[in-house]
Structure 1
Amino acid sequence: MPDKTEKISEDSVIAFLRDTPDFLKDNPQVCDFLHPPAKTEGKGLADFQSYMIKRLKADKEEVIESTREIVENARSNMNNQQRIHMGVLRVLEATSFDEFIQCITMDLATTLDVDISVLVIETNETDIPHVHQNGIRILPEGTINEWMNNKSILLQDNISGIEAIYGGGAALVRSQILLRVDISMDTPPAILAFGSRDPNMFHDGQATDQILFLARVIERCFRSWLSLPKQ
């Protein structure tokens, strides 16, 4: 059966491009299929080669920028991982329960490069079961569940610090991460809060696996120090 497909002639292509001068500008991907001549003969051809060169430079710059972002993200992730590892080691090195609490409420802020770290625990009694109040913020029963909304972690940017969490340091906090700490069935709900003056340090969408690992380590340390059963 004969091929009835009409072949497009060079003259037709030239005529089309002449009548549609913005075709390549509107469809730049077409340039990927073209092979401009090595020598320039006239202004029009020189302009076309100039366009191709600019296109190649733009593609190169895009690749360089993408590579730079990948490298910067990798360095940032490695830096964060190192800080988490240092935080875990510091928590494990505590030689007393009071030192352990100090690690959480003071040392971790420096290690993780945040401005303030706080352990917050709910209670409906005067005293907190199993836990000394020194270095710990106290909240009424039900507050944490209301804040966390059944989530194990919250990352928030461009906020005003909550005085109930950070006390006098609340005015400094512009972004925060709240980590639920499930110590034991015998202890009330608790969260670990990290606040930063940088409004963009914590934000929704960030990777959380490393900081969640730190929270799990802290839970186990609590149970070990207080001889509490697992969840």
Structure 2
Amino acid sequence: MDGTSIDGAMSAHEAKDEVRRFLLENPGVLLDDPDLLAQLGLQTLPDNVVAFGPAALARVHAAHRKESAVRRRLESTARANFAAQAHTHGAVIDLLEARNHADLARRVDDLAQLRFALCSGVVALEGPERTPAGWRPLVEGQVDMILGGHQKLTRMGFWAPALGLFGDRAEAVKSMALVRLAMWEPAREGIVAFGSSDPEGFTEDMGAELVAFLARVIERTAERWPVL
């Protein structure tokens, strides 16, 4: 083989090796061709020292700026995740300190507003049996209607059928996080809803892990007391 591909054309890798070999054997080619140096973004200094010119430096600076921007985004995301987890841990303690169902519902709304800067937090429960004080009453099957399916556990983003959960604050809600609840035996289904005034507060592609975790805490806390 003569170093070319089957059809006689030199491959890019072979061409690169050939150019490198040629420049190593003939270093003066670059030094003697100022136009070529300029196109490469290089310049010569006294004693034949080749230095980066403005174009090459601009490329290096652009790469560094891009790397710094990516690092800042990663750091910002990490800080936001850490803050969200810290708020969630504090919220769990608040929920576990509830004294009854009404107090639990109040604490859900308080943590939504005070800890997460949301406009509302609501707990709702399907009938036909009694609904605890402070909880939104739902008719049987309404949880499925709100979430959009029998098997659906969560829904993130704006969802008009759920606006009724937020009562007189519904007009301020532009996005929401909805999580199915199942409590007591025999099981009664409910829902916990968090509403945000920011359309990007909750989005469809956002993970629901933290709100689902809070929902499990609400379930276990609510089961301490029977619905009388």
- Using the size of structure 2 for normalisation, the TM-score is 0.74
In 2: Cα distance, 1:42 partner to 1:5 partner: 31
Unaligned ranges ≥5, structure 2: 16-28, 42-53
Equivalent residue for 1:48, pick from 40, 58, 62: 40
Aligned pairs for 1:128-167 (under 5 A) are: 128=130, 131-132=131-132, 134-148=133-147, 149=149, 150-157=151-158, 162-167=162-167
- What CA RMSD, in Å, does the superposition of the two structures yield over aligned residues? 2.7
1:172 alignment partner AA: A
- Corresponding residue SS for 1:225: coil
Q: Does structure 2 retain, via aligned residues, the 8 Å contact 1:183–1:223?
A: yes
1:199 alignment partner AA: P
Q: CA deviation at 1:114?
A: 0.8
Aligned pairs for 1:120-199 (under 5 A) are: 120-123=124-127, 125=128, 127-128=129-130, 131-132=131-132, 134-148=133-147, 149=149, 150-157=151-158, 162-199=162-199
Q: Is the counterpart of residue 87 in structure 1 residue 91 in structure 2?
A: yes
- Corresponding residue SS for 2:188: coil
1:192 alignment partner AA: V
> Could you say which residue in structure 2 is the equivalent of 1:105?
109
In 1: Cα distance, 2:157 partner to 2:95 partner: 25
Question: Identity over aligned residues, as a percent?
Answer: 23
> Could you say which residue in structure 1 is the equivalent of 2:24?
none
> Could you say which residue in structure 1 is the equivalent of 2:215?
215
Q: Does structure 2 retain, via aligned residues, the 8 Å contact 1:121–1:138?
A: yes
> Could you say which residue in structure 2 is the equivalent of 1:17?
none
Deviates more, 1:102-111 or 1:165-174: 102-111
Q: Does structure 1 retain, via aligned residues, the 8 Å contact 2:173–2:195?
A: yes
- Corresponding residue SS for 1:226: coil
> Could you say which residue in structure 2 is the equivalent of 1:225?
225
- Corresponding residue SS for 2:40: helix
Q: CA deviation at 1:94?
A: 2.0
In 2: Cα distance, 1:196 partner to 1:166 partner: 11
Q: CA deviation at 1:180?
A: 0.8
Q: Does structure 1 retain, via aligned residues, the 8 Å contact 2:120–2:194?
A: yes
Q: CA deviation at 1:202?
A: 0.4
Q: CA deviation at 1:205?
A: 2.2
In 2: Cα distance, 1:122 partner to 1:200 partner: 29
Question: CA 1:189–1:4 in 2, change beyond 3 Å: closer, same or farther?
Answer: same
In 2: Cα distance, 1:202 partner to 1:38 partner: 58
Unaligned ranges ≥5, structure 1: 14-36
Aligned residues: 192
> Could you say which residue in structure 2 is the equivalent of 1:4?
2
- Using the size of structure 1 for normalisation, the TM-score is 0.73
> Could you say which residue in structure 1 is the equivalent of 2:18?
none
> Could you say which residue in structure 1 is the equivalent of 2:76?
72
In 2: Cα distance, 1:93 partner to 1:171 partner: 31
> Could you say which residue in structure 1 is the equivalent of 2:21?
none
Q: CA deviation at 1:47?
A: 4.0
Question: CA 1:39–1:135 in 2, change beyond 3 Å: closer, same or farther?
Answer: farther
Q: CA deviation at 1:160?
A: 5.1
Question: CA 1:202–1:196 in 2, change beyond 3 Å: closer, same or farther?
Answer: same
Q: Does structure 2 retain, via aligned residues, the 8 Å contact 1:177–1:195?
A: yes
> Could you say which residue in structure 2 is the equivalent of 1:34?
none
